[in-house]
């Protein structure tokens, strides 16, 4: 696991500024504290920071082929590299190391751009071929590992694992992308391929990009897709058995490591399943860790302890105070651009805890996306039954009226909050799903943003990208459509970004067996009743895990990895955000209505409405903007 960065001259083969390259590379020291390396050739510079996991003695990067014609700079793990290596050895290739990095070099020589089809794992890499004057950039199928790119006016193309490496280059402009701001205040993150800056973009998951000396930069090319088609016809028992075997195999190939390895254990279905499989595959007890909270409603350590006791793991847990908001500026530095998933805070804490004992940790991320485990999936399915029976021309005015007339009751139990349901029934499928995952609904964004901002975005709507993905999804049912959108947008933009930055900030490698692309492709072929049945999401996963995980844990209500942000803004963070709203760089842009934000804060403080997530979104945007534009933000007190 590492951090990569580099620059490539698309005009000619000009001299690389070594000092600039070193600064770009050093900005990501946290991603690879064990070793550092740079490679410079006419028109090309590559930088690498290494967290040593496999082949500790000879896996240094950037790594060149024996003839020095090809050089690779790589972040990630290719779990099937030994199989690929044996195949390449049969073709006559000679290997000098035992690392998966060298496999990429010779896979390129054998298969060219199609080499990525051979790789099973998580990766982002840059590969320079001196023979053809080309730079090949690639990102894994799901987007577990990040890669940011910027094309400068001078003809240089920059790239790096994190945006901060690009920001270390003196020529990059820090002008904000107004469309990305609309995306952020819709989703709480900025979906690929945008970044907060006009000058930079993210290479989308499952894409490659080829650069050439003397040619203009081209568009990224997709190399992988997934289809949610009902292809599996076996019995429930047969599918549950196959589920178990496929999960066990996905876990097994992720156990390769020359450094201490463990697992996150939250007490939820997914992490419990991973630990159960690990325990059956490892000779020594599994190292597990969990984070708990001193507020019972947010604490799951008791459930985690059940699994730890059952499998006799070396378990460690640590309690975090419910007012643990001292990490805000640490998170802003880790994520670079605005990112408001508040579970990033406990994720960072559990990564800190894990890193005290291990260098690699397996996680349960991906189970909800893979098997339709979110509450919103079930709600969307129920709502779609109504939407499918009534034409939109009738639903939009009728349910739209009810949505406006029904009182807003954020304080009430979930079953009494019918307003959002009425609103969803008056929308198209895509609109309703975007509405369900939005932190700030359209009418709120309309009130918060000024006319100046609305003129600048020129009618751009953040839901259009999501709608396009949902409408084009290769799926046999509506849940498959939104799962497809989750995998293409939500997963790389939110979940995997959260885990990558939090783990890498403390020098920890996180691996996600449930996001093995072969397991994913199999699960996408399950019929709907194997994903959701009788109100249970992740149905087949739970059935498969019944012999391994206690029944009360498998079928208890889902509990998110969350923090009490609403209480914070009525207590310890009330003055912090109040002071921020008096003097903030975000208000200096002229894009935000100060009066609206003041009212939001006042309504929240008085308990009239619950705007905790919105206020957290605003606070994280302010902190990120302060860092991006070079204005020091006030430290929390």
Q: What is the pLDDT of residues 379-395, one digit of tens each?
A: 888 888 888 888 777 77
Write down the pLDDT at residue 259. 84
Is 39 within a domain?
yes
What span, in angstroms and rounded, lies between the C-alpha atoms of 473 and 489?
12
Helix axes 612-628, 178-187, angle to 10 degrees: 150
Write down the pLDDT at residue 20. 97
Domain of residue 8, residue span? 2-222
Task: Strands of 473-548 (E only): list them.
Answer: 509-511, 532-533, 536-537
pLDDT surpasses 80 at 182 = yes
What span, in angstroms and rounded, lies between the C-alpha atoms of 291 and 217?
45
Is 637 within a domain?
no
Write out pLDDT tens, residues 120-131.
Answer: 999 999 999 999
Write down the pLDDT at residue 292. 84
If one compares 33 and 174, the residue with the highest pLDDT of the two is: 174
Shared domain for 379 and 483, answered yes or no, is yes
For the domain that residue 213 is a member of, what is the CATH number?
A: 3.60.20.10
Shared domain for 186 and 260, answered yes or no, is no
Shared domain for 322 and 386, answered yes or no, is yes
> 90, exposed or middle or buried, with CB in 10 Å at 0-12, 13-18, 19+?
exposed
Write down the pLDDT at residue 411. 44
Confidence of residue 457 (pLDDT cuts 50, 70, 90): very high
Write down the pLDDT at residue 413. 44
Last residue of a domain, one of 510, 531, 561: 561
Longest dimension (CA), the chain: 73
Shared domain for 238 and 216, answered yes or no, is no
pLDDT surpasses 80 at 437 = yes
Is 102 within a domain?
yes
Shared domain for 462 and 570, answered yes or no, is no
Shared domain for 527 and 599, answered yes or no, is no
Q: Of 127-131, 213-217, 401-405, 544-548, give the lowest mean pLDDT range.
A: 401-405
What span, in angstroms and rounded, lies between the C-alpha atoms of 383 and 374?
15
Write down the pLDDT at residue 561. 66
If one compares 528 and 437, the residue with the highest pLDDT of the two is: 528
Shared domain for 117 and 202, answered yes or no, is yes
What pTM was computed for the model?
0.93
Length of the chain: 637
SS3 486: helix
Write out pLDDT tens, residues 259-288.
Answer: 889 999 998 999 999 999 999 999 999 999
Write down the pLDDT at residue 439. 83
Shared domain for 63 and 141, answered yes or no, is yes
Confidence of residue 631 (pLDDT cuts 50, 70, 90): very low
Write out pLDDT tens, residues 335-393.
Answer: 999 999 999 999 999 999 999 999 999 999 999 999 999 989 988 888 888 888 887 77
Is 531 within a domain?
yes
pLDDT surpasses 60 at 167 = yes
With pLDDT > 90 as the criterion, what percentage of the chain qualifies? 71
For the domain that residue 447 is a member of, what is the CATH number?
A: 3.40.50.620
Confidence of residue 633 (pLDDT cuts 50, 70, 90): very low
Contacts of 507 (CB under 8 A, 6+ apart): 30, 31, 32, 33, 51, 355, 359
Last residue of a domain, one of 524, 543, 561: 561
Q: Of 418-422, 460-464, 510-514, give the lowest mean pLDDT range.
A: 418-422
Q: Is the dihedral of CA 275, 277, 278, 284 positive or negative?
A: positive
Write out pLDDT tens, residues 546-584.
Answer: 999 999 999 988 776 667 888 888 888 888 888 888 888
Catalytic residues: 2
Write down the pLDDT at residue 615. 93
Write down the pLDDT at residue 406. 67
Write down the pLDDT at residue 637. 28
| Residue whose entry in the numeric block shows the structure tokens 């550092």 | 36
Write down the pLDDT at residue 474. 96
- Mean per-residue pLDDT of the chain: 90
What span, in angstroms and rounded, lies between the C-alpha atoms of 159 and 147?
7
Write down the pLDDT at residue 63. 95
Q: Report whether 372 contacts 479 (CB < 8 A).
A: yes
Q: How many structural domains are present in the chain?
A: 3
Write down the pLDDT at residue 73. 97
With pLDDT > 70 as the criterion, what percentage of the chain qualifies? 94
Write down the pLDDT at residue 416. 40
Write out pLDDT tens, residues 249-266.
Answer: 999 999 988 788 999 999
Is 310 within a domain?
yes
Last residue of a domain, one of 188, 222, 256: 222
Distances (CA, A) of 9 to 18, 26, 154, 212: 14, 21, 9, 8
Shared domain for 337 and 391, answered yes or no, is yes
In what order do the strands lie in the sheet containing 509-511?
Answer: 314-320, 287-293, 261-264, 360-362, 509-511
Q: Is the dihedral of CA 586, 587, 588, 591 positive or negative?
A: positive
Q: Of 154-168, 292-306, 513-527, give the lowest mean pLDDT range.
A: 292-306
Is 633 within a domain?
no
Confidence of residue 415 (pLDDT cuts 50, 70, 90): very low
Is 635 within a domain?
no
What span, in angstroms and rounded, lies between the C-alpha atoms of 378 and 391?
22
């Amino acid at each position: 696991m590492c951090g990569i960065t580099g620059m490539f001259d698309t005009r000619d083969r000009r001299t690389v500024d070594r000092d600039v390259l070193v600064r770009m590379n050093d900005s990501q020291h946290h991603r690879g504290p064990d070793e550092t390396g740079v490679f410079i050739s006419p028109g090309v510079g590559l930088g690498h920071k290494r967290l040593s996991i496999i082949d500790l003695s000879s896996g240094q990067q950037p790594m060149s082929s024996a003839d020095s014609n090809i050089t690779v700079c790589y972040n990630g793990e290719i779990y099937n590299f030994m199989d690929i290596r044996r195949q390449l050895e049969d073709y006559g290739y000679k290997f000098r190391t035992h690392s998966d990095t060298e496999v990429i070099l010779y896979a390129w020589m054998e298969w060219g751009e199609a080499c990525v089809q051979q790789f099973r794992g998580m990766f982002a890499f840059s590969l320079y071929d001196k023979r053809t004057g080309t730079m090949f950039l690639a990102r894994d199928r799901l987007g577990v590992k990040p890669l940011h790119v910027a094309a400068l006016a001078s003809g240089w193309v920059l790239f790096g694992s994190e945006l901060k490496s690009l920001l270390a280059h003196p020529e990059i402009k820090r002008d904000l992308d107004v469309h990305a701001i609309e995306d952020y205040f819709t989703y709480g993150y900025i979906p690929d391929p945008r970044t907060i800056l006009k000058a930079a973009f993210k290479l989308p998951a499952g894409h490659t990009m080829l650069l050439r000396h003397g040619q203009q930069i081209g568009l990224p090319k997709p190399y992988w897709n997934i289809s949610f088609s009902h292809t599996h016809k076996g019995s429930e028992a047969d599918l549950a058995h196959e589920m178990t075997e496929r999960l066990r195999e996905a876990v097994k190939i992720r156990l390769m490591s020359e450094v201490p390895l463990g697992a996150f254990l939250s007490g939820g279905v997914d992490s419990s399943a991973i630990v159960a499989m690990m325990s059956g595959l490892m000779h020594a007890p599994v190292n597990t860790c969990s984070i708990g909270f001193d507020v019972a409603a947010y604490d799951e350590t008791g459930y985690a302890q059940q699994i730890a006791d059952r499998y006799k793991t070396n378990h460690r847990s640590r309690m975090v105070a419910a007012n643990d908001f001292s990490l805000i500026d640490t998170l802003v530095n880790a994520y670079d651009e605005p990112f408001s998933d508040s579970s990033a805070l406990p994720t960072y804490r559990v990564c800190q805890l894990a890193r005290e004992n291990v260098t690699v940790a397996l996680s349960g991320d991906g189970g909800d996306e893979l098997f339709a485990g979110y509450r919103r999936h079930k709600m969307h399915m129920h709502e779609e039954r109504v939407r499918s029976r009534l034409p939109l021309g009738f639903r939009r005015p009728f349910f739209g009226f009810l949505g406006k007339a029904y009182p807003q009751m954020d304080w009430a139990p979930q079953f009494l909050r019918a307003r959002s349901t009425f609103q969803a029934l008056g929308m198209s499928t895509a609109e309703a799903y975007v509405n369900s995952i939005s932190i700030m609904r359209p009418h709120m964004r309309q009130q918060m943003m000024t006319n100046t901002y609305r003129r600048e975005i020129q009618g751009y709507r953040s839901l259009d990208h999501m709608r396009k993905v949902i409408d084009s999804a290769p799926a046999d049912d509506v849940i498959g459509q939104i799962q497809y959108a989750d995998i293409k947008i939500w997963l790389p933009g939110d979940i995997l970004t959260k885990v990558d930055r939090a783990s890498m900030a403390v020098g920890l490698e996180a691996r996600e067996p449930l996001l093995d692309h072969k397991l994913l492709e199999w699960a996408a072929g399950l019929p709907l009743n194997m994903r959701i049945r009788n109100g249970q999401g992740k149905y087949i996963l739970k059935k498969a895990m019944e012999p391994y995980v206690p029944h009360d844990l498998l079928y208890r209500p889902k509990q998110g990895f969350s923090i009490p942000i609403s209480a914070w803004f009525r207590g310890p963070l009330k003055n912090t955000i109040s002071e921020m709203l008096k003097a903030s760089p975000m208000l200096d842009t002229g894009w935000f209505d100060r009066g609206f934000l003041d009212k939001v804060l006042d309504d929240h403080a008085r308990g009239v409405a619950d705007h905790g997530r919105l206020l957290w979104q605003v606070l994280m945007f302010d902190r990120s903007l302060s860092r991006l534009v070079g204005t020091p933000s006030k430290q929390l007190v």
